[in-house]
Amino acid sequence: MKLFKIADLEEVIKVLEEQKQENIYDEIPIEESLGRILFENIMSDINIPHFDRSTVDGYAINHKSVNGASEMMPIITKVAEKIKMNSIPEKEIKIGESSYIPTGGMMPKGADSVVMVEYTEKLSENDILMGKTVSPLENVNSIGEDIEKGELVLEAFRKIKAYDMGLLAALGIKNIKVHKKLKVGIISTGDEIIEYYEMPLPGQVRNSNSLSLCGMTERAGAVPYNFGIIKDDEEEIKSTLNEALSKCDIVLISGGSSVGERDHTISAIESIEGSEVLIHGIAIKPGKPTIIAKSGDKMIFGLPGNPFAVLVIFRTLIEKYINRFSEKDKFITALFDTNYHKAMGRSEFLPVKLEERDSETYALPLRVKSSSVAVLAKADGFIIIEKDKEGVSSGEKIKVYEL
């Protein structure tokens, strides 16, 4: 067994960033784009709006026509036309004239602003009293004001949100290129691990990590493939690993955390032809025995068995890799609720519960034993205490990453 230096979390992220798979894409209809990662920059080939439009129901005028108008001293304008929603105004507006215009209606020639209907009064079919001055462009959404032709609208590597779909529709775009959904193979190892629907004997443990990993994979926008439970045997691990590598882009092996099991996983990975172990051990707690390797352009992650370690490794490394490092970390700022001491030289993760008190958000650390499956259901998020820190003090401001 080769000896590897334990890597810092930041180094690991850098190594992973260098490996990111980014040259494969799908071309998909925008209807199916929610949560996908843009492969290309989206530029607008039109102005939005592509015509000057009113933002209110009212009367389109030249603003000079109502110079000095007020509720007490309204000014009369002659109605030139009643503009309809879906049509081009026919009449040009002159000073002293106005055309009724609905919200979204096209501004007539000669008009530069709209007086809201609330500030007008019909004297007759043709005469309208206006009780308010307007400035040029008031209540008008002018050509290209929202989006200019040629403008960069959405950048490559953006994860498409619901309203981005509306934006793409407004641009008249039918299909977009997005990064291919990665396929994630999930393997559990351990002689003591049994299927979750089996009844455990003393000494046996139900497989919970595979299902958590399937869920996290799905949530991250990749496609999980569950390869089940493999006995703690190098040859068996190797053969399932090879099968998973042939079908998936990423393979996750969640093992027991005993030394023996870790040895078999690393040996199996090293015995794969052309594989390269990039990371063997990370200076974090929990999650230290994590292995990261590649085989061609496929990635292999060897994870410890501890459910909280699996979660933090997935969230801080694997999810980022799946998302091609496209998303900024999202966190909530909270005040730490107690004093917590940790060892220097490694980063430490803690699950926390959030509490609102006196209009402040407090984060309370939850005690977690390495094998706990229940603590995460009680937690709202987790924090990372950086490796150079000795702990967190009560009242200290911290970043909480939501679960």
Residues 26-65, interacting with a copy of itself (CB under 8 A): 30-31, 34-35, 48-51, 53, 55, 57
User: Does residue number 202 form part of the binding site for a copy of itself (CB under 8 A)?
Assistant: yes
- Shortest Cβ 56–a copy of itself spacing (Å): 8
Cβ atoms 216, 311 nearer than 8 A: yes
Q: In angstroms, give the least distance from the CB of 296 to a copy of itself.
A: 28
Instruction: Work out how close the CB of 273 gets to a copy of itself at its nearest, in angstroms, rounded to a whole number.
Output: 29
Site for a copy of itself in 157-186 (CB under 8 A): 160-170, 172-174
Q: Is 288 in the site for a copy of itself (CB under 8 A)?
A: no
> 24, 85, 123, 343: which one contacts a copy of itself (CB under 8 A)?
85
Question: Smallest gap, in angstroms, from Cβ of residue 69 to a copy of itself?
Answer: 22
Q: Name the residue nearer to a copy of itself (CB basis): 15 or 116.
A: 116
Rule CB under 8 A: is residue 105 a binding residue for a copy of itself?
A: yes
- Three-class secondary structure of residue 60 per DSSP: strand
Q: Taking CB under 8 A as the criterion, which residues in 306-335 touch a copy of itself?
A: 307, 311, 330-333
SS3 breakdown of the chain: % helix, strand, coil, rounded to 5? 20, 35, 45
Question: CB-based contacts of 56: which residues, under 8 Å, 6+ apart?
Answer: 103, 114, 116, 117, 139
Q: How far is CA 225 from CA 36, 57, 167, 251, 381, in A?
A: 19, 55, 33, 9, 26
CB-based contacts of 364, cutoff 8 Å, min separation 6: 337, 338, 352, 353, 354, 355
216 lies in the site for a copy of itself, by CB under 8 A: yes
Q: Say what angle helices 234-247 and 259-271 make with each other, to 10 degrees.
A: 50
Q: Which is nearer to a copy of itself, 78 or 84 (CB)?
A: 84
CA-based nearest residue to 78, from 58, 61, 102: 61
DSSP 8-state class, residue 165:
H
285 part of the interface to a copy of itself, by CB under 8 A: no
Q: Based on the shown chain and the rule CB under 8 A, indicate whether residue 210 belongs to the binding site for a copy of itself.
A: yes
